[in-house]
Amino acid sequence: MALLPQAPDVVGTATPLGATKLRAQALPRPRSARRADRNDDRLVVSALLAADLVALMMAGAVAVLIRQNLAMLDPAPDLAASVLSSSVVITAAWMLAVLVAGGAHPRLIAAGPELYRNVLTGSLFAAGLVGTTLFLTDIHLSRPYLVTLFVVGSGLLLLVRAIARRTVNLVRARGRLRSQVLVVGGAGHVRGIVRTMARETWLGYDVVGAIAPLSEGRSTEETGVPILGDESQLLDRVRAQQPDIVLFTAGSSASAEEFRRVAWELEELEVDVIVVPAISEISSDRIRMRPVAGLPLVHMDLPHARKALRRGKRLFDIVASALLLLVLAPVFAAVALSVRLTDGGAVIFHQQRVGRTGQPFEFLKFRSMVVDAESHRAELEKLARDRGNDVLFKMSDDPRITRVGRILRRYSLDELPQLWNVLRGDMSLVGPRPALPQEVSGYDGDAHRRLAVRPGITGLWQVSGRSDLSWEDTVRLDLFYVDNWSFAQDLLILARTARAVLASRGAY
């Protein structure tokens, strides 16, 4: 959806948000792109339900095949007939349970675990409902078949959601299925929202303008988008711009009563509302919302940096690194031989890096550069650095990299010796990027937070672009990891690392 033309800045007398009685002046709303967006949502949900139907049919076929081939059980002569007579009812009840549980809600497709959780909740409810019905009506249906059906079916439904999420986010990143957003709030908060939505294109949001208090700056440079007016003109601008979503962020001067009245007006205009609190970069695991006496109280857990140092994570690192060193021994031998045959120099590159709490350690890599690479570093640092990264020294065309080294870096094979660093306790499998001493000397106050946990072979920076990231994005991702650590997040990062390595994006 293309951005609308810039409207001129409007400066007028500030009045409370929603104080003007625009309901009586409501004009017939013309057919707009909002209807197309809702049709897009219906299309996505319809496609999801169609895929669910196919998945459950496949699950039924697999369940019959497994039941009839169980060695410890005799083939059930009437299984096919009983399955055919009950499959329609079971499938309909299952899909309805998933739908009611929110397993096909279009707002949940983009991100978050809630979509998968809802699918499992609906599947569990459907299994209980089917089991109870069979018991009360004394209908005989193979128990192994039912167990297999719900286990396989639930797995396929989750797979359908994973594919749907990937597909929808890819389509949104390419400019389709997008929604226009009008942001209301202070200039600083609007600027943060605009930057996030411009960076995370897969969210599918295009910010068309901002509504800011008169006390705030009025220039586009301060927000990154046109300022269309002050809060007294919000509803007029909504009618003129016809956004799909009005997003309220911090800095709005509306009281609770004024906000409620504006929400009534937006309901009449069929515009969705999103509220973004001032807090950010916090995972959903740390937030609990409890509406009390009409107040939406948000309880936030403290950062999880200390949890990332617990024995469970360290035990996992020891076991996993030891197994990988054993399994990958032939790969180590092949890489070491190729490096040695390149120029006869050392196979392993040793370098001092900074670990947890600023403690130095000896960092290991397969050598991917010429033997005297460090002696050329000073002159190369004088050249313009890539991607605006003013702290990390990274060059996409570094002349010091050998021919074999480029292959090693492309597939991150040069990082394998760091498994020994993990086994020794210098590093973890997952964590912030291990920093050089000169990089740490250039850290500001926030960046030092990266040193609160062990550095990792891989991390959010690795699966989000690696060397293509700016320094600001690198710090942002590392701080998010440190403050929101969880073991499940570590497993997810490890799974995503394989895809990032194969794609070799940002590897240089």
Kindly report the CATH number assigned to the domain that includes residue 232: 3.40.50.1980
The predicted pLDDT at position 302 comes to 75
Instruction: Identify whether residues 478 and 333 lie together within a single domain.
Output: yes
Measured distance CA(186)–CA(231) in Å, rounded: 11
**54 located within any domain:** yes
Residue where one domain finishes, among candidates 253, 284, 300: 300
Measured distance CA(414)–CA(51) in Å, rounded: 42
Measured distance CA(460)–CA(467) in Å, rounded: 12
Side-chain-facing half-sphere of 412: CA atoms under 13 Å:
20
Instruction: Identify whether residues 363 and 332 lie together within a single domain.
Output: yes
pLDDT in tens, 325-357: 999 999 999 999 999 988 888 899 999 999 988
The predicted pLDDT at position 266 comes to 85
Instruction: Identify whether residues 313 and 295 lie together within a single domain.
Output: no
Contact 40, 282 (CB under 8 A): no
> Domain range spanning residue 372?
307-503
Q: How does strand 360-366 pair with strand 348-354?
A: antiparallel
The predicted pLDDT at position 253 comes to 63
The predicted pLDDT at position 145 comes to 80
The predicted pLDDT at position 424 comes to 93
Measured distance CA(220)–CA(8) in Å, rounded: 11
Measured distance CA(230)–CA(227) in Å, rounded: 8
The ranges of the chain with pLDDT < 70 are 1-38, 68-85, 214-223, 251-254, 278-280, 293-295, 373-398, 465-468, 503-508
Alpha helix stretches (DSSP H) within 71-142: 79-100, 114-137
**317 located within any domain:** yes
Find how far residue 404's CA is from the centre of its chain: 34
Measured distance CA(217)–CA(238) in Å, rounded: 21
Measured distance CA(441)–CA(444) in Å, rounded: 9
Measured distance CA(502)–CA(496) in Å, rounded: 10
Instruction: Identify whether residues 339 and 480 lie together within a single domain.
Output: yes
The predicted pLDDT at position 388 comes to 47
**247 located within any domain:** yes
Instruction: Identify whether residues 342 and 461 lie together within a single domain.
Output: yes
Instruction: Identify whether residues 374 and 485 lie together within a single domain.
Output: yes
Contact 129, 93 (CB under 8 A): yes
Residue where one domain finishes, among candidates 254, 280, 300: 300
**330 located within any domain:** yes
Measured distance CA(118)–CA(154) in Å, rounded: 11
Instruction: Identify whether residues 484 and 443 lie together within a single domain.
Output: yes
Residue where one domain finishes, among candidates 300, 323, 341: 300
Contact 288, 297 (CB under 8 A): no
**455 located within any domain:** yes
The predicted pLDDT at position 83 comes to 64
Contact 268, 235 (CB under 8 A): no
**320 located within any domain:** yes
Name the strand (E) or helix (H) holding 70: none
Instruction: Identify whether residues 471 and 493 lie together within a single domain.
Output: yes
Any idea what DSSP says for residue 283? -
Contact 462, 495 (CB under 8 A): no
pTM attached to this predicted model: 0.67
Instruction: Identify whether residues 145 and 224 lie together within a single domain.
Output: no
Measured distance CA(477)–CA(480) in Å, rounded: 5
Contact 430, 482 (CB under 8 A): no
Instruction: Identify whether residues 282 and 382 lie together within a single domain.
Output: no
Instruction: Identify whether residues 364 and 464 lie together within a single domain.
Output: yes
Token duo for residue 106: 């279009």
Instruction: Identify whether residues 128 and 198 lie together within a single domain.
Output: no
The predicted pLDDT at position 439 comes to 84
**11 located within any domain:** no
The predicted pLDDT at position 222 comes to 65
Q: 367: closest CA among 416, 327, 330?
A: 416
**28 located within any domain:** no
Q: 37: closest CA among 275, 273, 271, 276?
A: 271
Q: For the chain, how many structural domains are there in total?
A: 3
Residue with tokens 């300022």: 227
Task: Provide the b/e sequence for 356-391 (b: ≥16 CB within 10 Å).
Answer: beeeebebbbbbbbbeebeeeeeeeeeeebbbebeb
Bridge partners of residue 299, in order along the sequence: 288
